[in-house]
Structure 1
Amino acid sequence: MELDLAAVRAFVAVAACRRFGEAADELGVSQQAVSKRIAKLESDLGATLLRRTPGGAEPTDDGAAFLLAARALLATADQAVDAVRSRRRALRVDVLGTRLAPTELVRRFHEATGTPVEILTSDGLRTAAPAVLHGSVDAAFVRVLGPLDPALAHTPVCLDPLHVLVGAAHPLAGRRQVTMADLAGVTAWMPGNTPGTEWTAWFADLADAFALRIETRGPNFGFDHLLDEVACSPDTATFAGEGVRVPWHPDLVRIPVAPPVPVYAHSVIWRHDNRHPHLPAFVAHLQAGYRQPSRARCWLPLAEQHLYAG
């Protein structure tokens, strides 16, 4: 005999919901259709799978035995369908924020190749890595810290130099460049720095290395609000990467840091066994555009210094 997957799905839904009406709503069909599908399944199997009780429908002993295998069967069927659909859908790429340098890398790939892409955002490695492992995204831009899950591959793709943002009345506002020595003792306000994230850890390393103070007092009302506050303050500063798209503000001054400039290392991660047809070209495009800077011109935390040569 051949099992009807729609009937199996109806049985699994009723077993989970305990009520035919709720299962019908979940499946988007009528309650009568659910009842007919389960009746046919029971007829095909020659066994009663559900019994009605005052508390709702419950699996019989035969139903409980069938349920585990039925769930596995549906999971396999869904994976088979997704294996085909995933080859036709857009490449899903996770970024920390759409203002950051990795989004520009994705845009350049899209424009160079015409590949359809879908941008998603997360809060970095701790959520992006599980999303890549589970297949909800194809690739993610993160800062790699230590070993990853063996199922994941990664490669460095961008080193983003540090810039300082100050208001027009700030003492540094007239400088064309600043050194990290110039910034010793400076307090940078960064309310978006979230404890436990890889970017917050990077700024903590930066503060330790150059005698800075990172202030994370909140609440965090977003990047635009931060810039407004910095622009009107004579003593507040903040940081942004060179690749960060900072909206124009009449009283905001953006100052590059002179070499050796701190750089934030963006890497891309993906599953070794991901078969999306555009993923290899995406990774190759990123690798082709990556340039390793000289040690003399850049600063990275000690744990990341293997990412560049020279």
Structure 2
Amino acid sequence: MELDLGAVRAFVAVADDRYFGDAAIRLEVSQQAVSKRIAKLEADLGVTLLSRTRGGAEPTEDGQEFLKHARALIGLADQAVEQLQGRRRPLRVDVLGTRLATMEVIRAFLSDHDTDLELVTPGLGADRSSLLPANVDAAFARVSAVSDPAIGRVPAYLEPARLVVGRRHPLARRRRVDMADLAGLTAWMPYTARASEWADFWRALCPEFGILIDTSGPNLGLEHHIDVLSRSKDRMGFVGEKMHVPWHPDVVQIPLFDPTPVYPFSLLWRHDNRHPALKLLVEHVQAGYRAFDPVRQWLPAADRAAMR
């Protein structure tokens, strides 16, 4: 039996993204094409690789076992193509989302280094099954520890959080807000209903400061989130200081203090990756990182040692 590399690539994409539509966008094919490729692969192998649920597709037990070999197969194929083409492809970096602070790190890197770089953005709230997706050279993520010795990690950026409220909210006229002032108030976070890097962070923060969490939906994206907050007298939200938030005339952002919550981004890469620009990116991130200050900043306990 001969494996169809396109079908294997489609399986890995869905395993990483969880959604057939997202995988189709990444592969630049139709969602129907992705479904057909995976169906054929499952038929050829005689096993079910993916379990379809409301929350997306997840690898089955057989799928998890096959996924390790599938990643290796695609990696070897990509390396072979690169060598035959006789040129280097762009450095592919997963920045999580183009609205996030990781874009500031990339912009600073490109201003210092003339290199070809391609962004990979799975989207805010994506629950990735892999710390380092197979289709990238490096990735930003919230990771306190890496058990795989093949993957390198350095702390990359600590992004201060800001409070977001509508102008009718009692805190709207404040120039700063201490975390103690938020005790008993409700943060509207429909995006925390699903497991994700962000959801885990906020679910650690809110109980520690007595903040209530409302996960009621729907979660229709950042624009909708801001619009709902603009009309509320009691709901509040949080964004990153460097996050590109849609402007709204009836919404204000307020700095948080005593302590300032900071969201931890790390940079991940594979030690066997020989892309010439990867070393430059790692060195740039290390040089620009400002370590965690336990007196003025707050992190979940699981992140503190890793981000110092």
Q: For 2:152 and 2:178, how far apart are their aligned partners in 1?
A: 36
CA distance in 1, matches of 2:73, 2:303: 44
Q: Verify: 1:281 aligned to 2:308, yes or no.
A: no
Amino acid of the structure 1 residue aligned with 2:204: D
Q: What TM-score do the two structures reach when normalised by structure 2? A: 0.71
1:176 aligned counterpart, secondary structure: coil
Shift of 1:151: 1.2
Q: What SS does structure 2 have at the residue aligned with 1:296?
A: coil
1:129 maps to 131
Give the CA deviation at 1:194.
4.9
Are 1:187 and 1:212, in contact at CA under 8 Å, matched by a contact in 2? yes
1:192: Cα distance to partner?
Answer: 2.0
| C-alpha displacement of 1:107 | 1.7
Note the C-alpha offset of 1:100. Answer: 0.8
TM-aligned CA deviation for residue 256 of structure 1: 0.5
1:178 and 2:171 are equivalent in the alignment: no
Q: Tell me if 1:99 matches 2:96.
A: no
Superposed CA offset, 1:7-46 (max 9, x none): xxxx9589x99xxxxxxxxxxxxxxxxxxxxxxxxxxxxx
Would the alpha carbon gap of residues 77 and 215 (structure 1) be closer, same or farther in structure 2, given more than 3 Å must change? closer
Higher Cα Rg, which structure: 1
- The 1:305–1:76 alpha-carbon spacing in structure 2 relative to 1, beyond 3 Å, is closer
Q: Which residue of 2 aligns with 1:189?
A: 188
Query: What is the identity, as a one-letter code, of the residue corresponding to 1:181?
Result: A
Q: Distance in 1 between matches of 2:200 and 2:148?
A: 20
Contact kept? 1:139, 1:268, Cα under 8 Å: yes
Percent sequence identity over matched residues? 47
Cα–Cα, structure 1 residues 184 and 280, in superposed 2: closer, same or farther, change >3 Å?
Answer: same
**Unmatched 5+ stretches in structure 2:** 8-71
Residues 140, 268 of structure 2: 8 Å contact kept:
yes
- Say if 1:262 and 1:299, in contact at 8 Å, map to a contact too: yes
Is the 1:125–1:143 Cα contact (8 Å) retained in structure 2?
no
Letter in 2 for 1:126: R
- Root-mean-square deviation (CA, aligned residues, Å) is 2.8
- Could you tell me how far 1:197 is from its partner in structure 2? 1.6
1:19-38 equivalences in 2 (<5 Å): none
| 1:135-182 deviation digits (Å, cap 9, x = unpaired) | x10111100044332211111110111100000111000000001110
Flag the 1:260–1:78 CA change in 2: closer, same or farther, 3 A: closer
Q: Please give the secondary structure, in 2, of the residue aligned with 1:140.
A: strand
Task: Determine the C-alpha separation between the residues in 1 that align with 2:74 and 2:196.
Answer: 36
Residues in 2 aligned to 1:105 and 1:218: alpha-carbon distance in whole angstroms: 32
- Report if the CA contact (8 A) 2:94-2:136 is conserved: yes
For 2:112, the equivalent position in structure 1 comes to: 112
**Aligned residue-pair number:** 241
- 8 Å Cα contact 2:82/2:89 also seen in 1: no
Matches within 5 A, 1:231-270: 231-270=230-269
Which amino acid letter does the alignment assign opposite residue 220 of structure 1?
Answer: N
- For residue 129 of structure 1, what is the amino acid of its counterpart? L
Contact 2:264–2:307 (8 Å) recurs in 1: no
Distance 1:74 1:263 in 2: 36
1:227 aligned onto 2:232: no
Q: How far did residue 286 of structure 1 move?
A: 0.9
The TM-score with structure 1 as length reference comes to: 0.71
Deviation track 1:37-60 (CA, whole Å, cap 9, x = no partner) reads xxxxxxxxxxxxxxxxxxxxxxxx
Aligned pair in 2 of structure 1 residues 208, 177: CA closer, same or farther (>3 Å)? same
